[in-house]
Amino acid sequence: MSKKLLIVSTSKIHGSVYMGYLKEEVADFFGGVEELLFIPYARPGGISFDAYTELPQKAFASLGIKVKGLHEFADPAQALAHAQGIFTGGGNTFLLLKTLYELNLIEPLQQTIAKGTPYMGSSAGSNITGLSIGTSNDMPIVYPPSFKALGVVPFNINPHYLDPNPSSKHQGETRETRINEFHVHNSQPVVGLREGSWLRLENEALELKGELDARLFRAGHPPKELPPGDWSFLLQE
Amino acid sequence: MSKKLLIVSTSKIHGSVYMGYLKEEVADFFGGVEELLFIPYARPGGISFDAYTELPQKAFASLGIKVKGLHEFADPAQALAHAQGIFTGGGNTFLLLKTLYELNLIEPLQQTIAKGTPYMGSSAGSNITGLSIGTSNDMPIVYPPSFKALGVVPFNINPHYLDPNPSSKHQGETRETRINEFHVHNSQPVVGLREGSWLRLENEALELKGELDARLFRAGHPPKELPPGDWSFLLQE
């Protein structure tokens, strides 16, 4: 079976509840799934795994989908292998990737995705689908043994993509400047996914969904704004 | 001799030229120095070492101080040992630290600072004075062999500190949330240095300078706003 991925910029857009704006897409993506495995390792704000798992539990209850936290299993690799569907929530990407390495879950997760188990990631959970976490926006609060990520897509994600604010007086680098710096040292394309956008990979086709354009950065080329629709060309590069 | 450090949030504030707002402080800090060694490894925007070194060359010329780039020396460790003063510019903290490790310059830099050679850092150059780069704002565009930094002060720096923007619709974490997440996993205090602020360490005393308060984060405590003036208590913690 081919990979089935939902790569989401953010679990929440301004003024919406957790996962609210995504409900229809998620119901369709996880059609037939009765129980979802939630990976809570990114722990936003240092929240406990149990408390974090309650968020998707509530959000998926209305779709008739049960949610279990991966931390509840004595053998998480086995749990991944037997999962009907997987959802990795946002938080800190460094912490998420470090925990996956420490628990030896990188390969099991890659294998589960390779065999067609639907995987949804949001924010940090989307970052790790790329070739590396080198385009994360997060603070490096812990040191992972590598920045290499799952690599289940042949590019990198920059979630919560932000356009430069022309009225800002702040001297920190813009997101675009940062991604251009990334491309001085790395060659993979980077998709700047705005809040409210997501990518869906299914049957070897990649689609940008939501209402917004996304910004595509390629090493050595000026960035491009591309509309929702077929983005399968990115799988060939 | 005791350490002499100038830890600056940003080399440029809105509407000023490079180093413009800092001129008096820098002239006083580097009093007696005729030639400064510039560490250009953070390479903002992927600029070349030569091009980057021209910026401080121009800025320091009006103070009668010559600037040489560390990249111009065949033996950079020797150059550090013999420097009259050192300035590390901003850019990408991961790239800066990785390059210092690769060139085996961490220890030489620590030794040079320990013997009293005045060291000034701005932004990324300030981040590396702390215990780790775990509170950098930068994108992790390259993988350094460790997040451990020079540790010439017993705390961490968060340069370009930004207060939460209550009108923002963006769902990315605020700076304060990020630093609180850092403290779930790390114990050292973090100084949130706003643009226009700097710390000066000299004669075993630490002073916050500039017009603004800085925000002090300690693990397990609510953050505190503290005014410019004596911050030597942070050396004792």
Could you read off the pLDDT of B117-142 as tens digits, one per residue?
999 999 999 999 999 999 999 999 99
CA B98/CA B147 separation, integer angstroms: 9
Q: Which of A122, A123, A132, A197 is catalytic?
A: A123
Please, what is the Cα angle at B189 between B184 and B190, to 5 degrees?
Answer: 90
Closest-CA distance of chain A to residue B232, Å: 26
Q: Is A140 in contact with B160 (Cβ distance < 8 A)? A: no
Return the structure tokens found at A97: 């990737």
Catalytic annotation on A123? yes
List CB contacts (< 8 A) between B186 and chain A. 141
H or E element that contains A161: strand A156-161
| Bridge partners of residue A35, in order along the sequence | A66
Interface contact B181-A46, CB threshold 8 A:
yes
State the pLDDT at residue B170: 74
Proportion of chain A above pLDDT 90, given as a percent: 86
Give residue B169's pLDDT band: very low, low, confident or very high (50, 70, 90).
Answer: confident
**Which amino acid appears at position B170 of this protein?**
H
pLDDT of residue A126: 97
Distance CA B92, CA B94 (A): 6
CB B146 within 8 A of CB B101: yes
Per-residue pLDDT for B197 more than 90? yes
Angstrom distance (rounded) from CA A83 to CA A119: 10
Query: B219 by DSSP, 3-state: which?
Result: coil
d(CA B214, CA B175): 13
pLDDT digits (tens, 9 = 90+) for A106-146: 999 999 999 999 999 999 999 999 999 999 999 999 999 99
Is the sign of the CA dihedral A174, A177, A179, A185 positive or negative?
A: negative
How far apart (Å, rounded) are the C-alpha atoms in residues A36 and A215? 31
pLDDT by residue (tens digit) across A56-74? 999 999 999 999 999 999 9
pLDDT of residue A46: 86
pLDDT attached to residue B168: 76
Tell me which residues of chain A, numbers 133 to 152, contact chain B at a CB-CB cutoff of 8 Å. Answer: 133-143, 146-147
Q: What is the largest CA-CA distance in chain B?
A: 51
- Name the pLDDT band for A163 (thresholds 50, 70, 90): confident
Asked if the model's pLDDT at residue B233 lies above 80, the reply is: yes
Q: Which residue has the higher pLDDT, A162 or B52?
A: B52
Task: Tell me the mean pLDDT in the region B56-63.
Answer: 94
Instruction: Tell whether B171 is within 8 A of chain A (Cβ).
Output: yes
Average pLDDT for A185-189? 97
pLDDT in tens, B28-49: 999 999 999 999 999 988 899 9
Alpha-carbon torsion (A130, B165, B184, A44), positive or negative: negative
Q: Among the listed ranges A19-28, A49-58, B13-22, B73-82, which one has the minimum average pLDDT value?
A: B13-22
Nearest-angstrom CA–CA distance, B192 and A84: 44
A185 is catalytic: no
When pLDDT is cut at 50, 70 and 90, the band that residue B194 belongs to is: very high
Q: Which residues of A touch B146 (CB under 8 A)?
A: 143
Q: What is the average per-residue pLDDT within A25-33?
A: 96
Mean pLDDT of chain B: 94
Cβ atoms A117, A83 nearer than 8 A: yes
Which amino acid belongs to residue A142?
V
Q: Would you identify the CATH topology of the domain B5-236?
A: Rossmann fold (3.40.50)
Query: Which 8-state DSSP code applies to residue B110?
Result: H
> Is A181 close to B44, i.e. CB distance below 8 A?
yes
Q: What is the pLDDT of residue A79?
A: 98
pTM here? 0.95
Tens of pLDDT along B70-109?
999 999 999 999 999 999 999 999 999 999 999 999 999 9
Residue whose pair of structure tokens reads 């929440």 in the numeric block:
A12
Span B197-225, average pLDDT = 96
Residue A99's CB is within 10 A of a number of other CB atoms, namely 20
Total residues belonging to chain A = 237
Q: What number of CA atoms fall less than 13 Å from residue A204's CA on the CB side? A: 2
Higher-confidence residue: A12 or B96? B96
In angstroms and rounded to an integer, the radius of gyration of the C-alpha atoms of chain A is: 17
**Predicted pLDDT at B162:** 87
Active site (annotated) includes residue A160: yes
pLDDT of residue B147 exceeding 90: yes
Provide the pLDDT for residue B207.
98
Check pLDDT > 80 for residue B8.
yes
Chain A residues inside the 8 Å CB shell of B10:
171
- pLDDT for A167 equals 74
Whether residue A108 lies within 8 A of chain B, CB to CB, comes out as: no
Share of chain A above pLDDT 70, in %: 99
